[in-house]
Chain A
Amino acid sequence: MSAGTAVVSRYVGLELRRTFRDLGFVIFGIGTPVLMYSIFTSVGDQDQAAGGWDVLAMVGMASYGALGAALTAGSAVAEDKANGWLRQLRVTPLTPAQVVAGRTLTGSLMVLPAVMAVLLTARLLNGVDLALWQWLALTGLLWLGSLPFTMLGIANGYLLSQQAANVTNVTCNLALALIGGLWFPLTEFPSGLAAVGEWTPGYLFARLGHDTVAGHAPGLVTVAGLAAWLLLFGAYAAHGYRRAGRRA
C-alpha cells in the first residue's frame, strides 16, 4: 500500500467513525428503511407475501436506504465546508485528489450498512430465502449502483450551504424514491407517470436488485441508463468541486 493510499484510508476511517457517531444518520439513515420494510410487510393483505411482496419490498427499501445514505454523505460535505474542516485539510499534506477520493469512498461505504440492515431484516423477519450468490450480488450491486447518488449528494454539498444542502438532499431522496417506485411499485402508478418513472435513476437502481432476486443479470438498458446518470451526476459533482470545493 503506497503512502498516498494509506493517507486516504486513514481519512476514510476517520470520516466513517464520525458518520457512525451521528445518531441522526444511524436512526434515520439506517433505521427508517428497516422500520418501513417491517411495517410494509406486516400490515395489509398477507396473501401478497406469497406473491413475493416481501422480496419486492426488500429490494425497494434496501434501495431507498442506499439512496438516502449516499445523499446524506453529501450533506456531510456541506457541514465540513461550513465548519472549516475542508479548509483545514487543505493546509495539511493531503492533496485535493486524496480528499475528494476519501470523501467519495466514505459516502460510498456509508451505503453498505443501510443496504445490509434491510436485507438482514428481510431474512430474519420474513424468512426471505435467496441463494448465497443472490445475497452477495444484491449487496454488491446496490452498493456500486448507488454511486450516482453519492455524486449528486456531494455536488449539492459543495455548492450549497449546510442548511440548503440538507433540505435539497432530503428532497432528492424522497422524490427519487417515490418516482422510482421504491416505496410502491410503478405498476400502481398512472401509466404516464410510470413511463417517466422508468427512466429515473431510482428506478434503474432498484432494477439492479429486482433482476438479481429474479435470478438473472441486470439488463443492458438498466446498466446503460444508470451509467448515463452516473456520468451526469459525476459531471455535476466535478462542477461543484471546481466551483466551491477547491476554494473551501
Chain B
Amino acid sequence: MTTKQAGAPVVAFRGAVKDYGAVRAVDALDLEFTAGERVALLGRNGAGKSTSIALMLGLDEPTAGTVELFGGAPRDAVEGGRVGAMLQDFKPVSRITVGELVGFVGSAYPAPLPVAEVLELAGIAHLAKRRVEKLSGGQIQRVCFAVALAGDPDLLVLDEPTAALDVQARQEFWRSMRALTDRGKTVLFSTHYLEEADRNADRIVMIDRGRLIADGGSAEIKRTVGTGVVAFDAVDGTLPEGVAALPGVRTAEVRDGRVRLRTTDPDATTIGLVGLLTPRGLEVTQAGLEEAFLTLTSEASEASGAARTSGNPASVPAASASASAEKGFTR
C-alpha cells in the first residue's frame, strides 16, 4: 500500500486546478519534487499556497488534473504514514500534555521516532509534561512541528510554520528545521517571508494567483529576473521614452516617484541610460529576492492581461508599466 512505484517523485502536480466557486485558487499547476529536496513554496497571502498544500495532503480534491504523492493518491500516502504535516492556524488541543500528544500521533505511524527524540529535535524536551493549552504561541507552534515529526515521515509538509512568530522564535525554529533536514527528509514549507525561503530552501517555487511563476534555486530566480536595479527620479512621474529598451533591461516601472529598471547587466544599462538622458538621484543596487518577487508577480499580472499587447516582452509598454506601478503602491 505504501510504495506504489519505485522512483516516483515524492510530490507530483499534473495540471492541477482547484476552483472554489468562481475563484480559481490553483491554476494548472505542474510541479515535481524529488526525495531529499528542501522546497519553499513562496507566495503572498491568498496566492494559493494553502490550497496547494491541502491538495497535496488529500484534504481537498483537485477540480481538474491530478496530485500524487509517492506515485499514488495523497490519502494513501497519508494513511500509509509517509507524510507528516503542520497545518496553518494551529490552536492548542486542550487538556493534554505535550508528551501525550506527540506520543499518540507517533503511535499512529508504522515506525515512529521515540517521543524524547522528537521533543529534543523540536527543542521542547523541557515541556513534555506541560498541558498544550498553557503554552505560549511560539511553544505551541513547536509542538505542532513535533507532531509533524512524530511518525518519522518521508515527507514533511509545513504550512506557514513561522507565521505569527517573532523574529527570535523564527530563528530558533529554523535552527531546529536544519537539524532535521540533515536527516535526508523531503521538506516542503510555505512562507511569505522571502528571506526565509532564500535561507532555508534549496529550491524555491513561487506562485501567484494560483499559478507557478518561478521555480529554481534563489540564484536562478535572481538571474531570471535580472541581477540589478537601476533607479532614478521620475521627473514628471512617467516612464521616460526609450528606457525600457536599454541594454539588459527586463522590466521598467515607475513607483513612488522613481523609475526602476530591473536589469541583467546594470553596467550596460547605466551607460546606455546616461547616453539617453540625464538621470537625477541615480542608484544602482543588487536585486534581492524581494525584487525578484515583485518583478515576477507583476510580469504574471501583465501576462494575464497581455492578450491585447503583442510585442517584444522585454520592452514593457508604458500602459502596463504604470499598471505595475499601481500594483507596487497597493502592496
B35 to chain A, nearest CB (A): 20
The reply on B94 being an interface residue by CB < 8 A is yes
The reply on A88 being an interface residue by CB < 8 A is yes
With A85-B93, A93-B80 known to touch, is A10 a contact of B57 (CB < 8 Å)? no
**Chain B residues with Cβ under 8 A from A87's Cβ?**
59, 87
User: What's the Cα separation between A91 and B79 when bound, in Å?
Assistant: 8
User: What's the Cα separation between A11 and B151 when bound, in Å?
Assistant: 15
**Chain B residues with Cβ under 8 A from A7's Cβ?**
107-108
With A83-B92, A84-B89, A91-B57 known to touch, is A17 a contact of B100 (CB < 8 Å)? yes
Interface residues in B68-127 by Cβ distance below 8 A to A read 78-81, 83-85, 87, 89-96, 100, 104-105, 107-110
User: What's the Cα separation between A14 and B79 when bound, in Å?
Assistant: 20
A96 to chain B, nearest CB (A): 9
Q: Of A83, A90, A91, which contacts B94 at CB under 8 A?
A: A83
**Chain A residues with Cβ under 8 A from B104's Cβ?**
10-11, 14
User: What's the Cα separation between A7 and B107 when bound, in Å?
Assistant: 8
User: What's the Cα separation between A88 and B87 when bound, in Å?
Assistant: 7
**Chain B residues with Cβ under 8 A from A85's Cβ?**
93
The reply on A54 being an interface residue by CB < 8 A is no
Interface residues in A76-111 by Cβ distance below 8 A to B read 79-80, 82-85, 87-88, 90-95
Beta-carbon contact of A84 and B108 below 8 Å = no
Interface size on A, residues (CB 8 A): 23
Interface 1/0 per residue, B5-25 and A, CB below 8 Å? 000000000000000000000
The reply on A22 being an interface residue by CB < 8 A is yes
Q: Of B79, B80, B84, B93, which contacts A83 at CB under 8 A?
A: B93
| Number of A-B pairs, beta carbon distance below 8 Å | 64
B63 to chain A, nearest CB (A): 15
Query: Can you name the residue of chain B whose Cβ is closest to the Cβ of A13?
Result: B104
A157 to chain B, nearest CB (A): 15
**Chain B residues with Cβ under 8 A from A90's Cβ?**
57, 59, 78
The reply on B147 being an interface residue by CB < 8 A is yes
User: What's the Cα separation between A247 and B20 when bound, in Å?
Assistant: 14
Beta-carbon contact of B90 and A84 below 8 Å = yes
**Chain B residues with Cβ under 8 A from A10's Cβ?**
104, 107-108
Interface residues in A52-91 by Cβ distance below 8 A to B read 79-80, 82-85, 87-88, 90-91
User: What's the Cα separation between A94 and B106 when bound, in Å?
Assistant: 11
B10 to chain A, nearest CB (A): 16
User: What's the Cα separation between A46 and B87 when bound, in Å?
Assistant: 60
Beta-carbon contact of A92 and B151 below 8 Å = yes
B56 to chain A, nearest CB (A): 10
Beta-carbon contact of A91 and B78 below 8 Å = yes
Beta-carbon contact of A17 and B96 below 8 Å = yes
Beta-carbon contact of B93 and A95 below 8 Å = no
B158 to chain A, nearest CB (A): 11
Show 10 A/B contacts (Cβ-Cβ < 8 Å), sorted by A: A7-B107, A14-B100, A18-B94, A84-B90, A88-B87, A88-B93, A88-B147, A90-B78, A91-B59, A91-B85
